[in-house]
Amino acid sequence: MKSVRAIRATVGKGLEGDRYFHKVGTFSKDPGSGREVTLVEIEAIEALRRDYEIDLEAGKTRRNILTRGVYLNHLVGRKFKVGGALLLGMRLCEPCAHMEKLTLKGTMRALVHRGGLRAEIVGGGMFRVGDAIVADDGDASPGRQRRNQSR
C-alpha cells in the first residue's frame, strides 16, 4: 500500500494502480461486489489505540481511502461523490483473518462493524486528498472530508 495525492476511479475496474484494478489482490478470483473502492474512518483507527491498545497504521488496514468526520456505515446503499467520482456504498468492509494475519492480533475483533465500507464506482473520475464526500442526494452530513487514499 502506498499513499497518493490523487487517483482516477474507473467504472467496473477500481482505482488505477490498485491491486484489484489489476486483478492481483488476494480476493481477486473470488467474485463479489464492493471490491472497487474501500474506505475506513480514521476515528476507527484512533479507537483501536484508545480502546484496545492496538497501534495500527492507516495503510495497514488495506483500505483505499482514509476519512475523517464521515459516517461510512450510513453510506451503505447510497450513492455519494468523492471529488469527480460517483460511488455506491455496497456493504460494510468487515475485517477478516487475512488482514489480522498481516497486522496485529486482536485487530479483527476490534474492527467489527467499524472496518469500513466497500463501494462500487458508478461514475468515474479523479479525486484528491481533501476532496469532500457528499451523498448524491446533497446530504453533506454523512461525510465532510477525505484525508488521503492509497492503492
Q: Is the pLDDT of residue 73 over 80?
A: yes
Confidence (pLDDT) at 39: 93
d(CA 5, CA 52): 30
Domains of the chain as residue ranges with CATH: 3-150 (2.40.33.20)
Long-range contacts of the stretch 127-130 (C-beta < 8 A, 24+) = 127/6, 127/7, 127/9, 127/82, 127/83, 127/84, 127/85, 128/5, 128/6, 128/7, 128/83, 129/5, 129/6
Q: Is the pLDDT of residue 98 over 80?
A: no
Residue 53, CA distances (Å) to 35, 41, 107 in order: 29, 17, 10
* pLDDT tens-digit series, residues 3-62: 889 999 999 988 998 877 767 666 666 767 778 998 999 999 999 899 989 888 877 776
